Amino acid sequence: MAIDFRPRWTDTDLELYRDTAVRFIEREMLPDDGAARQRGHVGHALWRRAGEVGLLCSDIPEQWGGGGGDFRHEAVLYEEMARRSLTGMSVSVHSIVAHYILNHGTEAQKARYLPRMASGELVGAIAMTEPGAGSDLQGIRTRAIRAGGEYVINGAKTFITNGLLAGLVLVVARTAPEQGSRGISILIVETAGCQGYRVGQPLDKIGLRAQDTSELFFDDVRVPADMLLGGEEGRGFAQLMSDLPYERLIIAVMAVAMMEGAYHETLAYVRERMAFGKPVAEFQNTRFKLAGVATSVKAARAFVDRCVEDLVEGRLDTVTASMAKAWASDLQGKVVDECLQLFGGYGYTNDYLIGRMYVDARVQRIYGGTNEIMMEVVARAL
Amino acid sequence: MAIDFRPRWTDTDLELYRDTAVRFIEREMLPDDGAARQRGHVGHALWRRAGEVGLLCSDIPEQWGGGGGDFRHEAVLYEEMARRSLTGMSVSVHSIVAHYILNHGTEAQKARYLPRMASGELVGAIAMTEPGAGSDLQGIRTRAIRAGGEYVINGAKTFITNGLLAGLVLVVARTAPEQGSRGISILIVETAGCQGYRVGQPLDKIGLRAQDTSELFFDDVRVPADMLLGGEEGRGFAQLMSDLPYERLIIAVMAVAMMEGAYHETLAYVRERMAFGKPVAEFQNTRFKLAGVATSVKAARAFVDRCVEDLVEGRLDTVTASMAKAWASDLQGKVVDECLQLFGGYGYTNDYLIGRMYVDARVQRIYGGTNEIMMEVVARAL
Amino acid sequence: MAIDFRPRWTDTDLELYRDTAVRFIEREMLPDDGAARQRGHVGHALWRRAGEVGLLCSDIPEQWGGGGGDFRHEAVLYEEMARRSLTGMSVSVHSIVAHYILNHGTEAQKARYLPRMASGELVGAIAMTEPGAGSDLQGIRTRAIRAGGEYVINGAKTFITNGLLAGLVLVVARTAPEQGSRGISILIVETAGCQGYRVGQPLDKIGLRAQDTSELFFDDVRVPADMLLGGEEGRGFAQLMSDLPYERLIIAVMAVAMMEGAYHETLAYVRERMAFGKPVAEFQNTRFKLAGVATSVKAARAFVDRCVEDLVEGRLDTVTASMAKAWASDLQGKVVDECLQLFGGYGYTNDYLIGRMYVDARVQRIYGGTNEIMMEVVARAL
Amino acid sequence: MAIDFRPRWTDTDLELYRDTAVRFIEREMLPDDGAARQRGHVGHALWRRAGEVGLLCSDIPEQWGGGGGDFRHEAVLYEEMARRSLTGMSVSVHSIVAHYILNHGTEAQKARYLPRMASGELVGAIAMTEPGAGSDLQGIRTRAIRAGGEYVINGAKTFITNGLLAGLVLVVARTAPEQGSRGISILIVETAGCQGYRVGQPLDKIGLRAQDTSELFFDDVRVPADMLLGGEEGRGFAQLMSDLPYERLIIAVMAVAMMEGAYHETLAYVRERMAFGKPVAEFQNTRFKLAGVATSVKAARAFVDRCVEDLVEGRLDTVTASMAKAWASDLQGKVVDECLQLFGGYGYTNDYLIGRMYVDARVQRIYGGTNEIMMEVVARAL
Ligand SMILES: Cc1cc2nc3c(=O)[nH]c(=O)nc-3n(C[C@H](O)[C@H](O)[C@H](O)COP(=O)(O)OP(=O)(O)OC[C@H]3O[C@@H](n4cnc5c(N)ncnc54)[C@H](O)[C@@H]3O)c2cc1C
Ligand SMILES: Cc1cc2nc3c(=O)[nH]c(=O)nc-3n(C[C@H](O)[C@H](O)[C@H](O)COP(=O)(O)OP(=O)(O)OC[C@H]3O[C@@H](n4cnc5c(N)ncnc54)[C@H](O)[C@@H]3O)c2cc1C
Ligand SMILES: Cc1cc2nc3c(=O)[nH]c(=O)nc-3n(C[C@H](O)[C@H](O)[C@H](O)COP(=O)(O)OP(=O)(O)OC[C@H]3O[C@@H](n4cnc5c(N)ncnc54)[C@H](O)[C@@H]3O)c2cc1C
Ligand SMILES: Cc1cc2nc3c(=O)[nH]c(=O)nc-3n(C[C@H](O)[C@H](O)[C@H](O)COP(=O)(O)OP(=O)(O)OC[C@H]3O[C@@H](n4cnc5c(N)ncnc54)[C@H](O)[C@@H]3O)c2cc1C
């Protein structure tokens, strides 16, 4: 009897969708992953192919070119990528961007961008973090000053996922610099042919080597005034807050799936690998370590599944999502570390999935709000 | 906004039942707990009162005098006792015994015992462990040898919960000594006036001081042949195995509830307690520790809730229940330990709930199968 | 080859002294420990016997009736008691009190008290903590107001080790209430026949059951003005600070020794105890757990040994001593917990050394300054 | 007052030697480290320069061209490289190889190789591990069959440190295949112009990117019979065993130094980095984390210092060295992980020392014998 980690929230339709995702992943992503890690990005073609087969914007209404599904469709795709540590193409950030537009954009903005995001023509990015402001978003300095029918954007952003390939960047900026969090707005920037917009060198990260995380520079970038997300100034902070459960749950979903992937991969390895005349799987230390891993994964699955169900039913609060993000990513760190150890020297190489997982997993405790910030959020709610 | 740990599986009826349980606990158990810890047992009267108000055998069909509910009713009671560390009256072992009779007993056995167990007249105990055999039940030596219309039982048992107060003891014994696990049967022993039956000194445990854990001695104890559980020899091991999910989940349920209790109690304490001019609750270390505890409890709640739902629907397997037992009790140890620390010196006293929890919690990783044995069970299923 | 945990700082003389200590402990302390845990104290006779054989004030100069040794002599005794979890007779607090008198007392105070402390006639206690002030000593309210040739003491102290048996109590009190830490002094109170002095009920602790930790009440207690420690008002805080390395290192020394004791006891147990046809010591999980324990103890031994050497040479600073206190007591908690688990159900009883260790060890992270306060001390020095 | 982590075993001479090492490191290693990580090796020139300034073979007698120092000189160099995560040039493996020759080689072998190793002309490597045998060295298959005045070597090795640059490889091989560990010998292979010897692609490791870890292939490689280490067949296993304390202690020394480096780097960072209007260093969570790190480092320093002193005095046993290796590298993993977190997103990049440390540190629990094998070694000695 093998241990069953199937999500509780799945059904036949979703499993069919999963088959599509797996086929795409195995045919189009896996074979290129090594090269993408060298290159530092997955390339535009892959995004377009993903759009073609219907894997982008799966939870955006069909009316806007999306898949018409719900968060579970998104989760299916994240799971299948995360369990293989295919971390180059950040569909998650892309979807987050699409959700900002869906939830807060004007009708014109939705019509203009969502279909092109669903097709993969436009890759989405969101630029909050700056060299001087990460956890504390209120410290951002980028400005978008209204000048006639335009906003003039100046500033520098860093650590922007999909930064190189992005065709559409949501820029969090101060439209009323003197006003604190009330003076923050989100601007939509189309990068193609954009004057004054520059993508820096790709960041030399220890993992996520296929992901194009970049610095972005804005020097007198001008966008038409209707590029203000939602059309009203000073709403940026509230817009950012309202989508947090969605964003944080994605990280938790990926954590669980990577742990499952690590578990299966490790189990297979230790059954094959011989030492002292028997499979490594037969040492009691190995057995207990893997039993512990399986137990953790089972618990994590239950927790995150419940959050997924709650999100789909519209009742997942930010505190619970922050808990899930922190707890699952912490656990992911431990689980991947323990699994790697069971591979001996081979675990220390990029040739093995577990080695790639190790370097990729580390960031999960940092981005999307560090786990310390998650604890702050929870502590405030006690 | 306070964090919500309500079980997902509850409903209005169950919450009414919970009110009954809480009333009973607060009126009849709490006030006597200190004295019971001195005495080493809760006394027969309490069991009878619990029976009267309908708190015993809540998941045994009404036909046999039970409450006609399901596992969730049991869980409600365990939760409310565990969150107050009222560990003297082991309703759980009592219910486990009732389930053996319900699931494996003959009609006559059910009719004879279940109503008296539901009323609290007969307290149930189950005697597996022996001085020389705990984890490895196949090592037991107690014998029940058929002699005419009787079985003659000889042997010694130890660590038997409810040992002093028990009116009915299920004795796991060898009926066919030469046959390994196939030669093991369960005998029903009524202790009242039973010749050759003796209860030893109560064990001097570090915690569960109100619980009458005892050694039991059987010297030529004679019981009629129809006291064989189920009426067929050699079925003991299979009978024991089949009820494991139920037994292990109880421990997990209690773990979660005690953690919740510890969390609430600690939060209240640190809000009141002042140091260096402010409430202890305001130090970031305290805040992060409690946020971590709340997060753990939330995860544990989700995992155990799912197991409860699965059990009620008849699909909880032994492996998952063993995971839940080990994982939840490990976490309980950590959580209670961390909470105690936040009480400073007061946490180290029996006057504070957290101090009693600390000593009570430790056993959860040991009884019901040690957590090492749980890992063995899981490892075999990988 | 057995693993060697001998302290580096020992020598032949010290080992002879150790023999004396062990003989005393095995003949006079061990046999009564169970009864003392029932009673709640070890009794005056034991203190006198310890004085007779030269085990008290071993590091006080001979001139004052002491043993004329150094901290290593003290350490030898703490080690031998701690490895057996003989925690009833707090020689450590006694020695700390003697050191206050030695280091800060007037000649008259030394002459009057040290010889009687060395003989065991006077048991020492130090009363800092109050119901409302533990970590934050500046919050104490007990007052000692000068009135003519006397001080009049009013206030309540709690958690006072040796509280019941103490003949001499150092009371930390405000002599100049309006002055903050500068207004704090230490008064010497002889308890015999002291008017207005009252010892409360012994605290009902979860461990250290043989230790008489008590509340002390001072209602208009009058002491002659020359009972002011050192003879100068307002020096209390400085006096307390200057002895911290000594006090904290004692806790670390006891932690290491208890871990060694736990290790040896557990190793012996698992070698004897059989499960599944072999000694529990042969399961790889057991082997790795014990190897981990042995490794931790070895590291702890090295760290604490170095601190002992530094203390003897007069160069142990408060920060390093605080590190040792926190680190060693944290580790002690983990090690004792892991060892207990290997005893199965037996570990959960007071009949086994490991069970008593478990409840005794918990306080080490709390008293002598909580480990959070230790981290504060270290953090300030970074 | 800053916390002092200076090794206890150092003295003025050693600190002068340290200055030399630091100068070399800062002038010649640091500036090239980024390029070396790209290239995958540090290049021959660096080795020669290190030889010139006297940093190679510092504990080999002057008679053989070495520095005439002891293990402390080696330790000084490892410390200064490890605290900067300069992991490309494995002086440690080089020294280990030199020690094999010194301790087990014939006079001719010493004379032929040690001077050239000390000058950096010949880089040393030791080839034990094979694709099919890592932890279990008895499983190696590489053969060295005597044929006239030569040995003919066939087999494949993997994970060989300094594999690309090595001029001298010690090859562990079976000279008497049928004889188990008694049939194992060590052969000296000079790689320059060696027929049948081939270095594989550099391994694509997740860290130690500047270190040329390689596969080595031996196809009918012929070496003169006097290339047998020590001149006697079947001594290989014993030779390997006798140098274990030396090898394992090196890893522990590097672990401590890297932790110190991580601590200092992190402290500096959090003091500068602002969030929510104050330095990150001022949040209590940061303060306690760093205090915990400092405490761990202090303990580790004490443990490893004692081992160094013991090694220098010739009394460090394999068990204690194995404890130090496992314990220190485990701790290193935790400490570096915690420090990285305090850098937020920047910690996840190779531009920051802490990011490089993170990927470099992971291997310390694996090579030199995995930490599981260390626990086996310890367990056998209990
Ligand atoms: C691979 C990657 C992808 C990313 N993608 C994006 C992206 O697409 N868009 C984007 O906008 N950003 C992105 N980020 C940035 C990320 O969100 C930030 O790195 C993160 O929020 C932390 O900010 P920081 O790095 O400035 O750390 P800092 O805010 O400087 O934090 C430093 C340390 O201080 C701690 N700290 C801060 N405040 C407190 C407090 N109150 N109490 C205790 N501790 C505290 C932090 O937890 C951390 O440990 C990405 C980062 C990475 C590494
Ligand atoms: C308060 C309390 C109440 C109890 N109530 C009851 C009751 O009502 N009825 C009843 O029958 N029993 C009861 N027990 C007994 C309990 O079930 C046993 O204590 C438990 O099963 C462990 O058995 P043991 O104590 O003999 O430990 P042992 O079996 O001797 O185990 C010793 C150690 O070896 C470990 N170990 C054993 N096998 C392996 C393995 N294969 N691999 C690795 N490690 C292993 C164990 O985990 C443990 O750490 C109770 C115990 C307590 C403390
Ligand atoms: C068995 C025993 C023996 C004792 N013996 C003596 C004795 O002989 N003489 C004597 O005077 N006292 C004695 N004590 C008292 C002991 O020193 C105190 O219990 C201890 O100092 C903690 O004080 P508290 O209990 O008031 O906890 P509090 O000070 O109320 O602390 C509560 C919690 O807050 C935390 N906390 C406090 N300040 C901070 C901060 N700045 N940042 C983060 N967390 C913080 C603490 O760590 C703790 O977790 C004894 C205590 C015990 C249990
Ligand atoms: C960067 C790097 C540099 C290296 N340099 C060298 C070098 O210079 N020369 C050289 O010869 N080798 C070198 N090695 C190889 C290294 O020594 C081995 O990787 C290591 O000994 C483990 O062997 P393995 O990788 O084959 O793992 P395996 O032996 O296959 O082990 C797999 C897993 O099983 C576990 N395991 C094995 N036996 C037991 C047991 N009895 N009980 C429980 N668990 C067990 C292991 O701990 C591990 O977790 C290097 C490795 C690396 C990564």
Cα B361 to ligand 2 centroid, rounded to whole Å: 15
DSSP state, B203? P
d(CA D119, CA A343): 37
Name residue B157's amino acid: K
d(CA C154, CA B266): 31
Instruction: Determine whether the shortest distance from the Cβ of C369 to ligand 3 is under 6 A.
Output: yes
Sorted by sequence, the CB contacts under 8 Å of residue D156 that are 6+ apart come out as D130, D131, D142, D215, D216, D217, D218
Q: Is residue A4 domain-resident?
A: no
Does the pLDDT of residue B91 top 60, yes or no?
yes
Q: Is residue B3 domain-resident?
A: no
Q: Is residue C5 domain-resident?
A: no
pLDDT at A253: 98
- Which residue, by CA, sits nearest to atom 4 of ligand 1? A159
* B124-127 and B184-190 strand pairing: unpaired
Q: Do both D167 and D107 map to the same domain?
A: no
Cα D307 to ligand 4 centroid, rounded to whole Å: 24
Q: Is residue A3 domain-resident?
A: no
Sorted by sequence, the CB contacts under 8 Å of residue B323 that are 6+ apart come out as A294, A295, A298, A299, B374, B378
CB contact under 8 A, B8 and A287: no
Residues A74, A79, A80, A247: which is the catalytic one? A247
CB contact under 8 A, B370 and C344: yes
Q: Which ligand is closest to the CA of B348, given by its number?
A: 3
For residues D108-127, average pLDDT: 98
Percent of chain D with pLDDT over 70: 100
Tell me the backbone φ, ψ of residue C227, rounded to 5 degrees. Answer: -85, 5
Q: Choose the closest CB to C302 out of D302, D317, D326.
A: D302
pLDDT at D306: 98
pLDDT at D2: 80
Q: What is the pLDDT of residues B167-184, one digit of tens each?
A: 999 999 999 988 888 999
Closest approach atom of ligand 1 to CA A211: 1
Which candidate, A102, A100, A123, places its Cα nearest to that of A48?
Answer: A123
Q: Choose the closest CB to A351 out of D204, D207, D340.
A: D204
* Count of B-D CB contacts under 8 Å: 8
Does the pLDDT of residue B138 top 60, yes or no?
yes
Q: Please report which residue ranges of B243-283 form alpha helices under DSSP H.
A: 244-272
Does the pLDDT of residue C142 top 90, yes or no?
yes
Find, in chain A, the residue whose alpha carbon is nearest to that of B377. Answer: A291
Q: Residue for token digits 């309703």?
A: B91
Q: Do both B129 and B109 map to the same domain?
A: no
| The domain boundary residue, chosen from B192, B212, B234 | B234
Q: Do both B111 and B185 map to the same domain?
A: no
d(CA D192, CA B112): 91
The parts of chain A modelled with pLDDT lower than 50 are none
Query: In C, which residues are within 8 Å of A282 by CB distance?
Result: none
Instruction: Determine whether the shortest distance from the Cβ of B350 to ligand 2 is under 6 A.
Output: no
Q: Do both B16 and B85 map to the same domain?
A: yes
For residues D91-105, average pLDDT: 98
Q: Do both B131 and B216 map to the same domain?
A: yes
Find, in chain B, the residue whose alpha carbon is nearest to that of C207. Answer: B348
Find, in chain C, the residue whose alpha carbon is nearest to that of D286. Answer: C379
Query: In A, which residues are within 8 Å of C288 by CB distance?
Result: 285
**C353: domain range?**
243-381
Q: Is residue A5 domain-resident?
A: no
CB contact under 8 A, A274 and D349: no
Q: What is the pLDDT of residues B11-47, one digit of tens each?
A: 999 999 999 999 999 999 999 999 999 999 999 999 9
CA B241 to chain centre: 17
Q: Is residue C2 domain-resident?
A: no
Q: Do both A138 and A195 map to the same domain?
A: yes
Q: Do both B35 and B95 map to the same domain?
A: yes
pLDDT band at D1 (very low <50, low <70, confident <90, very high): low
Instruction: Determine whether the shortest distance from the Cβ of C366 to ligand 3 is under 6 A.
Output: yes
pLDDT at D133: 95
What domain count does chain C have? 3
| The domain boundary residue, chosen from D66, D100, D118 | D118
Q: Which ligand is closest to the CA of B156, given by its number?
A: 2
Q: Do both A279 and A211 map to the same domain?
A: no
Is residue D272 part of the annotated active site? The answer reads no
8 Å CB contact between B261 and B255:
no
CB contact under 8 A, C274 and B132: yes
pLDDT at B1: 57
Sorted by sequence, the CB contacts under 8 Å of residue A107 that are 6+ apart come out as none
Q: Do both B297 and B324 map to the same domain?
A: yes
Residues B80, B247, B260, B265: which is the catalytic one? B247
CATH code of the domain covering residue A256: 1.20.140.10
Name residue C198's amino acid: R
pLDDT at A375: 98
Cα B266 to ligand 3 centroid, rounded to whole Å: 15
| The domain boundary residue, chosen from B118, B142, B176 | B118
How high is the mean pLDDT of chain B? 97
pLDDT at D180: 85
Q: Do both B374 and B274 map to the same domain?
A: yes
Query: In C, which residues are within 8 Å of A283 by CB distance?
Result: 284
For residues B306-324, average pLDDT: 97
Q: Is residue D5 domain-resident?
A: no
Q: What is the pLDDT of residues D161-185, one digit of tens each?
A: 999 999 999 999 999 988 888 999 9
**CA geometry: angle C295, C301, C304, nearest 5 deg:** 140
Does the pLDDT of residue C160 top 80, yes or no?
yes
CA A39 to chain centre: 20
CB contact under 8 A, A306 and B2: no
How high is the mean pLDDT of chain D? 97
Cα A363 to ligand 1 centroid, rounded to whole Å: 10
Q: Is residue D4 domain-resident?
A: no
**Three-class DSSP category at C357:** helix
Residues D247, D260, D265, D338: which is the catalytic one? D247
Q: Do both B152 and B38 map to the same domain?
A: no
CATH code of the domain covering residue D90: 1.10.540.10
pLDDT at A1: 57
Which candidate, C220, C241, C81, C229, places its Cα nearest to that of C168?
Answer: C229
Q: Do both A375 and A248 map to the same domain?
A: yes
Instruction: Determine whether the shortest distance from the Cβ of B275 to ligand 3 is under 6 A.
Output: yes
Does the pLDDT of residue D70 top 90, yes or no?
yes
Q: Choose the closest CB to B303 out of A3, A303, A323.
A: A303
**Three-class DSSP category at C81:** helix
Closest approach atom of ligand 4 to CA D368: 17
Sorted by sequence, the CB contacts under 8 Å of residue B17 that are 6+ apart come out as B58, B69, B73, B76
Q: Please report which residue ranges of A25-120 form alpha helices under DSSP H.
A: 30-39, 44-52, 71-82, 91-104, 107-119
CATH code of the domain covering residue A142: 2.40.110.10
Does the pLDDT of residue D285 top 90, yes or no?
yes
pLDDT at C269: 98
